[in-house]
């Protein structure tokens, strides 16, 4: 079964006056939809757009796996584990909040910044927070988040190129850029598909496209 959610149906949040524009695919903050709390392990899929100099000041998280994918620009990250780094397109950043962590995400560059931040529920709460960044992840190298029983696949398609979508109990497909056809449904930037008991699904690029695909065990 496939449930398609369109970009224009996302909840708009953030603080435009402070240079923060946010688009939420799930219930988030003051926006509560009891029928859209999570899908599998995915709790949030937020597209964030930060103007130069804008950002999220230090704030806490716990019991969440936070995975970030930069679309355009450069993200500055700092957290209470002592990490301070920059994240660029093609990098995967993961902050495991575990029993509690504080972090800052900012656009300290001169260009606008766009990134997708995804929150996943861990299989077990608590533990010590940790941080990881993988530079220049390749299409053929899935990124595992074992704490959430999930695997992230990055797929970049040329026009007319096909790619198999992983089979799984829950599979979440987010279109970062470009257009695709997924099992007969046309999807564009910001659109997402939630597949339950996914089997033999295939995506075809209608243009050059970039996809983020979460494969989840349950």
Which DSSP string corresponds to 165-207? PPPEEEEEEEEEES-EEETTEEE-TT-EEEEEEE-S-EEEESS
At 217, is the pLDDT very low, low, confident or very high (cuts 50, 70, 90)?
confident
pLDDT (average), residues 150-157: 97
d(CA 44, CA 24): 7
Q: What does the pLDDT look like over 2-59, one tens digit per residue?
A: 999 999 999 999 999 999 999 999 999 888 999 999 999 999 999 999 999 999 999 9
pLDDT for residue 218 is more than 80: no
Q: What's the whole-number average pLDDT of the chain? A: 96
Q: Is 86 exposed, middle or buried (0-12, 13-18, 19+ CB in 10 A)?
A: middle
**Model confidence over 160-192: pLDDT tens digits?**
999 999 999 999 999 999 999 999 999 999 999
- 68-111 confidence digits (pLDDT tens): 999 999 999 999 999 999 999 999 999 999 999 999 999 999 99
Residue ranges of domains in the chain: 2-216
Kindly state the average pLDDT of the residues 115-119. Answer: 98
In the three-class reduction of DSSP (H, G, I as helix; E, B as strand; rest coil), residue 9 is classed as helix
CATH no. for 2-216:
2.60.120.10
């Amino acid at each position: 079964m496939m449930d398609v959610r369109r970009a224009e149906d996302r909840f708009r949040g953030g603080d435009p006056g402070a240079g923060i524009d946010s688009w939420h695919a799930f219930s988030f903050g003051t926006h509560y939809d009891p029928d859209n709390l999570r899908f599998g392990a995915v709790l949030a899929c937020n597209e964030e757009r930060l103007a130069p100099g804008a950002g999220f000041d230090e704030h806490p998280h716990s019991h969440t796996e936070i995975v970030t994918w930069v679309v355009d620009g450069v993200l500055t990250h700092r957290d209470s584990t002592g990490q301070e780094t920059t994240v660029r397109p093609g990098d995967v950043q993961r902050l495991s909040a575990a029993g509690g962590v504080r972090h800052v995400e900012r656009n300290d560059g001169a260009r606008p910044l766009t990134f997708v931040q995804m929150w996943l529920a861990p299989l077990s709460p608590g533990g010590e927070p940790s941080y990881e960044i993988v530079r220049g992840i390749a299409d053929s190298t899935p990124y595992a988040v074992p704490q959430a029983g999930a695997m992230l696949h990055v797929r970049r398609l040329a026009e007319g190129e096909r790619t198999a979508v992983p089979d799984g109990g829950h599979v979440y497909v987010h279109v970062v850029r470009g257009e695709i056809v997924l099992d007969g449904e046309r999807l564009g930037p910001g659109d997402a598909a939630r597949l339950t008991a996914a089997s033999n699904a295939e995506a075809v690029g209608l243009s050059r496209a970039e996809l983020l695909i979460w494969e989840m065990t349950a």
